[in-house]
Structure 1
Amino acid sequence: MPQAHTISDSTTPTTTTAAPAPPAELSLEERLTLINAEMTARLDQAAVAYEVNTAHLGTEPVNLADIITGPVDTGPGPVPHLYPTPVAALLQRAHQRLLIGGWCKDAMSDEDGARCLLGAIRVEARGDRGLEASAAAVLLDAIRRRFGDDVDSVPSFNDAHATSRTPLCMVDQAAGLADARGL
């Protein structure tokens, strides 16, 4: 019978690893610095994830006129007159009245003092029916330039809107149009 030989591998080193040293106590400042670094890394990662996850969403700029629907306080003092012509100045005052006092529809004015487009023009015309008619005509022309000849009148245009944004923009544009015409 053949003899069995045991082969020992003497090439494997027998190393002993030292036990890890106990962690050193960190001061409060050092712990806060480490936590700050970790949180900064997490926030950076979250920001990148947010950008990736929302890249496909279309965004439109926010128009504050859509958000702010009540009267706006413009501060003390009268509004400076930018337009030297009477119709343009009247439309500018009507615009300012609508901004400050509020806009309404389906009535010349409401219980809170808000006014429709013609109501604001009438108050600012201070009884001058000719000036009031000229301002209303320029306003209707500005409205028709933008929205077409299907608009019957200023009151119908005013009442067709749910918010003040478009009607107020049209009064402002009409003031510029009246000034350009020298009215």
Structure 2
Amino acid sequence: MTARLNEAAVAYEVNTHHIPLDRVQLDDVVTVPLTPHLGPQADRTPVASLLHHAHQLLEAEGWCRNVMIDTDGSRCLLGAVRAAAAGNRSLEASAVDVLMDAIRRRFGDHVPSVPSFNDAWNGPRTPLRILDQAVALADARGC
């Protein structure tokens, strides 16, 4: 088997040697965010705006689990919502309710709280997606 693989490697080199290779300039490479989303919208509801701001905080400052805010400044879902609310406890409670509803719609009624949902993940991908879904849900509800 090793002899066949070596023979195939040599054949590949011989067959592709004549193909010219152009070097890629890194300046020519177009990059896009991994999770594209629309910028702020003027007609967003207050809860949707708060949840969108929480999403931006998590992207900018980082996501963490098992604590509300870690030593590096990363935040959990609830920590990001609380920071985005800037002390408005009523708006924060409404945002957490919508976020919890988005979580339960996707993952079921067995999820007891936002912190337990947050701490169940090893990375920010799913928590960020849920925040996006919660923004859309808040907009749809008009709250």
Tell me whether the two structures share a fold, i.e. TM-score over 0.5: yes
User: Structure 2 CA distance, aligned partners of 1:140 and 1:112?
Assistant: 26
Which secondary structure does the structure 1 equivalent of 2:44 belong to? coil
The residue that corresponds to 2:40 in the other structure is 81
Higher relative contact order (CA 8 A, sep 6+): 2
Distance in 2 separating the partners of 1:153 and 1:80: 28
Q: Which residue of 1 aligns with 2:136?
A: 176
Shift of 1:41: 6.6
Calculate the TM-score normalised by the size of structure 1.
0.58
Map Cα deviations across residues 50-78 of structure 1 (whole Å, 9 max, x no partner). xxxxxxxxxxxxxx57xxxxxxxxxxxxx
Q: Distance in 2 between matches of 1:110 and 1:40?
A: 52
Instruction: Specify the SS of the correspondent of 2:70.
Output: coil
Report how far residue 43 of structure 1 moved: 2.3
In structure 1, distance between residues paired with 2:107 and 2:13: 52
Q: Which runs of 5+ in 1 are unaligned?
A: 1-38, 45-63, 66-78
Runs ≥4 residues deviating over 3 A: none
Aligned twin of 1:152: 112
2:16 aligns with: 43
- Distance (Å, rounded) in 2 between the aligned partners of 1:109 and 1:43: 54
1:146 to partner: Cα distance:
0.4
1: distance between equivalents of 2:90 and 2:71? 28
More helix by share: 2
Aligned to 1:96: 56
Which has the larger Rg?
Answer: 1
Size of the aligned set, in residue pairs, is 114
Q: CA deviation at 1:96?
A: 0.6
